[in-house]
Structure formats: structure tokens, C-alpha cells
Structure 1
Amino acid sequence: MTQKIQIASWNINSIRARIELVEKFLIEYQPDILCLQETKVVDDLFPSAPFRMLGYNHQALHGQPMHHGVAILSKLPLRDIRRHDWQQNGEARHVGASLANGMRVENVYVPAGGDIPDAEENPKFGQKLNFINQMIAWSQDVETPTILTGDFNIAPLEHDVWSHKQLANVVSHTQIEIDLLNKLQGTGNWVDLARHFTPAEEKLYTWWSYRARDYAASNRGRRLDHMWVTPNLLEKAASHQVHVTCRGWAKPSDHVPIVTTFSL
């Protein structure tokens, strides 16, 4: 019997500041699993109760005060919860769990990398590159059918940004970041679901800066949020959506949710 499962990912930019937005999204779209990034709260203070009231009784949390933080909220049981500290610096940037069918969901928040695309001048950029290198080493050992999702903070393709020419030397779209992300993708033969369903020639964004007064009018976006799968899950992916309208909600995150429907 085929079962449809919807998995969503959203950098919420503070779960406590935007809990009403997340509740609205869950009520309207009802994904089975929601992966959050940048929750910005320790696990003991995570607002678990509103999610339980909506049926998300299975929760895998990895938080810290004021910064970073990831969470998986699920209507389906979660097993074998893991929290990788790839850089051994205590930052809460990963949480992963297995579903009953053995499939894994890995939720990642890659460092933004600061403003200067030079590892010597800007240690934050070096941290970002090192983080992805650690993910590459991890990816070499992935054997289980896996969904890798989250805020990767890299827009790899020309039409993943509003202007390839103007952003070529801007962090998130530099060639060194793109090359490294491509290496990560190649290491596990990961499939980028957004570009599997949407041609690379079409503009596709998941993030718009708060600096724009009207995000829709300027539409200067970037595709920073991704959902990848191992090749053995590709035929199970039925559709992929970017919920752009959420960017126009009151007091929004600068990111919008992405959702993939799987037929398992």
C-alpha cells in the first residue's frame, strides 16, 4: 500500500518569535514532518506544547541560546536521533532521525559565512568551508536511504540568484562555495529535488533579504534552502514546492518553507 508523506524544511529565524507563523503553516499545509533551522532556543525552552496539540508528538531537538538551533517535528515516530557536531565547536547545526521504514531525515543549518569571501580575512567564511568539508567526509559513509535538507546558505546555480553577475563575488554564490557544494552533492550522488522538478533555467528562490521594502516587487532572492535525496529515494519523490507566499505573512522569516511529497 502506497503512503504519501510530506516533509517540510524552514529556516524560521527564531521559533519563539514566529511560533504563530509555524502554527499557521502547519494548519494550512499539514506536512507530516517539519525540519526547522535557526530556532535560537535551548531545548528546555523550546515551545513543544503547541506542536503536540497539532499532532507533532515526536520531536528531535538540538538547540542553544540565541543562535543557530535545529529541530525535527513529526507526526511519525522518530528513532535513532543523532546530533553531529561536525566542527566540535558546540554549535547546534544538525539533528537527524530515522523513520519506522528505515529512511533517515538529516536536518542541517550550514554557517552563513559572513560578508567577505576570504577565509584568511574572514574566519566565518573559513568556518563555512570547513563545515561543508566535514559534511563531505560524513556523506561518504551514507548508505541508508536519506533525505538531507535545511538551510545550506549556498545558491549554486545561475538562476538560484536574482543576478548571477552581481552576486558572483558575494558570499552564498561564490565559485569556491559552489564547487564545494557540488563536491558534497557528488560524494553521495545526492539529487537536488528542487531542480529535479524545476528546470535549471527557471528562477527559483527561497530567501529574500529584510532590506527590501517589498520583497515581491524587487524579487531579489536566492535559493539557499535545499532538499536532497539519495538516488534510491528519487523515484519516491512525487513533487516539490516552494511556499513563496509565506514570505508575505506578518513578521515573516526571510526564508520560506520548502515541501516535498513522497510516495512510499
Structure 2
Amino acid sequence: MRFTLATWNINSVRLRANLVTELMRQEGPDIVCLQECKSPVAKIPWEIFENAGYTHAVARGEKGYNGVAILSKLPLEDAGELDFAKLKQARHVAARLENGTVIHNFYVPAGGDVPDRETNVKFAQKLDYVADMKAHFAENRPERSILVGDLNIAPREDDVWSHKQLLKVVSHTPVETEALEAARDAGGWVDVTRKDIPDGQLYSWWSYRSPDWDAADKGRRLDHVWASPDIAGAAGESRILRHVRGWEKPSDHAPVFATFDI
């Protein structure tokens, strides 16, 4: 089975449903994984996506916050959710394709503005969440699995516009990057995007605060595609659709693509 997958923090699926369908129309990915849907499942505009050919879906949602969804042209079944850091929030959903491949879609907590777990409960929750990811996948080593999502951490020096200037900024502090790499290593996950694009600056997020995000180009690679080691060799054609960040009323994230032949 050959399929192309996209992961995208959409920052409100109801507000930006038209952008999702435009991506579907232009690029035609077989599977679209969305984060930060900010909607109860019942209020996601399913009919719009079904009319675009995405007739299979699983999701978890809550009013105004978080939320994850997997939209697919291919048949899939709900494979449950994981609740890390005991947050009881809609931050993960899994789906299983007919060939047995499991897709995990994560939205890791952003962590607030202060990188100190003692004074910032949101940062503590983020670290606890990633620690629970590590523990879970160390105990349940993934096979025939793909993990995608907004992991809210840019792990490599070339995943940010300035490694030195962002060392004390949430999303690139050493405690976060080390925790994410430990979680990835615990499951044996392969960073598919960097497998395919090993060198150079690479971003998937640009702040709304920048008056000219494109010219300033102060980005970070917060959105990821990982694969379990048994299928990582079947992944390729990775790309980040930077131009989508420039669409009208966009998300501050750009979609990340990869193709699998498994």
C-alpha cells in the first residue's frame, strides 16, 4: 500500500475548514492528521471533508481547546487514545489502516512562556507529557507504526532560526529537546523528515507576532513525522509546504508531508 500523509496544526478546524479542503484539493494526500482542532467532535464539519473524498475519520475533541483528528480516503478504524501526564485532554488519537499500520496523532502541550517547571505549571505538564511518551513507547515498542503531530519541540540546532538565541525559549530549551529525543529513542522511532532532508534549516511554524513572517523567517520545526524502525525504510518524499503559511487567514503552522509504501 502506497499512501501520502500530511500533518498540520490547523488552529481551529471550524475556522479553517476551507484551508483544509484547499490542501486536499491541491495536494490530494490520502491521510490528513490535524491538531489543535478546537472543537467538540460532533461540531467538526465532517460533511465538507467527506465531500472532498475523505470519508473515513477518527477524532477526539473538546470545546475551544486542543483536539486531534485523522481524515482519510483510505478505510481505517479507531485505535484509541493515550492520556499522558493525566491531563484528560484531547491530545492524542490513533487509527489503524486495513494493512495493520497504526497512525498516532499527537498534540503535545506548548508549555507556556517560562521554561521553569517550578514556576510554570504548563511547562511542568509539557515535560511530564513527553516523559510519559517515553515511558509508554519504551514499554510498548512500536511496530508498523507512524507517529505525527505538533510535538511543540524543535529538537535540532538547525530546526530553529537561531540555536543560540532560543536556548532559553520554550520549544528549544535543552531540557525539552533532550526529553523529546529520549522519547524518540525509547520507541526506536525514526525522524522521517530529517531522514529525507538531513541538512539545513527546516521550519514548520512561524509566529503570528512577526509582521512579515516570510521575510523575517524566524521559524521552528515543531511538527514531526516519525516511523517505527521496521517501516522507516519505506518512508520518503518528505516536504514542508511553506507557502501554505502564506494563505489567507492561515494557521501559524505549515503542513508536513511524507509518503509511505508498506
Normalised-by-shorter TM-score class: over 0.9
Q: 1:21 aligns with which of 10, 15, 19?
A: 19
Q: Which residue of 2 aligns with 1:179?
A: 178
Q: Which residue of 2 aligns with 1:161?
A: 160
Q: Distance in 2 between matches of 1:219 and 1:137?
A: 35
Provide, for residues 20-79 of structure 1, a one-character-per-residue CA deviation record: whole Å limited to 9, x for no partner.
111100000010000000000001111100010011111101000000000000111112
Question: 4+ residue runs of structure 1 moved beyond 3 angstroms?
Answer: none
Asked whether the 8 Å contact 1:145–1:230 carries over to 2, the reply is: yes
Equivalent AA in structure 1 for residue 196 of structure 2: F
Asked whether the 8 Å contact 2:234–2:260 carries over to 1, the reply is: yes
The CA deviation at 1:80 is: 4.0
Provide, for residues 112-144 of structure 1, a one-character-per-residue CA deviation record: whole Å limited to 9, x for no partner.
000110000101000000000111111120343
TM alignment of 1:234-249, pairs within 5 A: 234-249=232-247
Q: Distance in 1 between matches of 2:79 and 2:206?
A: 32
Q: Does 1:256 align with 2:254?
A: yes
Equivalent AA in structure 2 for residue 166 of structure 1: Q
Query: Per the alignment, do residues 89 and 143 of structure 1 end up closer, same or farther by CA in structure 2, a change over 3 Å counting?
Result: closer
Q: Does 1:194 align with 2:193?
A: yes
Q: 2:82 aligns with which of 73, 81, 84?
A: 84
SS in 1 for 2:85: coil
Q: Does 1:170 align with 2:169?
A: yes
Asked whether the 8 Å contact 1:102–1:144 carries over to 2, the reply is: no
Q: Distance in 2 between matches of 1:143 and 1:191?
A: 11
Q: Distance in 2 between matches of 1:240 and 1:79?
A: 25
Q: Which residue of 1 aligns with 2:93?
A: 95
Equivalent AA in structure 1 for residue 163 of structure 2: H
The count of corresponding residues between Structure 1 and Structure 2 is: 261
Which segments of 5 or more consecutive residues in structure 1 lack a partner in the other structure?
none
Provide, for residues 142-165 of structure 1, a one-character-per-residue CA deviation record: whole Å limited to 9, x for no partner.
343110000000001111000011
| Larger CA deviation: 225-234 vs 135-144 | 135-144
Q: Distance in 2 between matches of 1:81 and 1:186?
A: 23
- For the aligned residue pairs, the C-alpha RMSD in angstroms reads 0.9
SS in 1 for 2:259: strand
Q: Which residue of 1 aligns with 2:58?
A: 60
Q: 2:223 aligns with which of 201, 225, 229?
A: 225
TM-score by length of 1: 0.97
Q: Distance in 1 between matches of 2:74 and 2:119?
A: 45
Provide, for residues 173-231 of structure 1, a one-character-per-residue CA deviation record: whole Å limited to 9, x for no partner.
0000011011001101111011111124x000000000111111000000000000011
Q: Which residue of 2 aligns with 1:207?
A: 205
